[in-house]
Amino acid sequence: MSENSKIFGMNVKYAAAAMAALVSFAGAAMGGTVQMANKRSDGVNAATVAEGKYYCNTKALSAAEQARHETLTKKLLAVRKETVETEKGYEFQYSPADVTVAEVAEWVVAESKCCPFFDFHIDLEEQGRLVCLRLTGADGVKQFIRAEFGLK
């Protein structure tokens, strides 16, 4: 397969990066209480830290990557149709009219750089009528997800 080959309309090289991110998130996350770190002078959280092994290192992203990731995060939170609690995490569901699989994969690649303890699962369900992003991980990750994404 050439580098210019496409999978679901994504360049194979980009799709491979997204898949690597998905696989690499079987991290060593252990339980802990979430604490938000101080904001940098530019107003961006430098890191989200949790007691134990949970932390999101936003310094892992360049300024341009942070800006794009923030834009995608706001969009994904705003247009989600439903949030479903699962045994090991949460699933965010979207209409493909609102968000594409490529946008979800782009978000996963960036999130994987700063939060390597998540397991990511992207599914296209109901004959292409539902895009799902499931975040899971080791014991205790659910409370981190709840805090990080403002879930009740």
Least confident range of 39-43, 94-98, 117-121:
39-43
For the chain, give the mean pLDDT: 75
Which residues have CB under 8 Å from 37's CB, separation 6+? 45, 46, 47, 48, 49
- Tell me the pLDDT band of 20, cut-offs 50, 70 and 90: very low
Single pTM value for the model:
0.67
98-120: pLDDT as tens digits: 999 999 999 999 999 999 999 99
Range 77-87 average pLDDT: 96
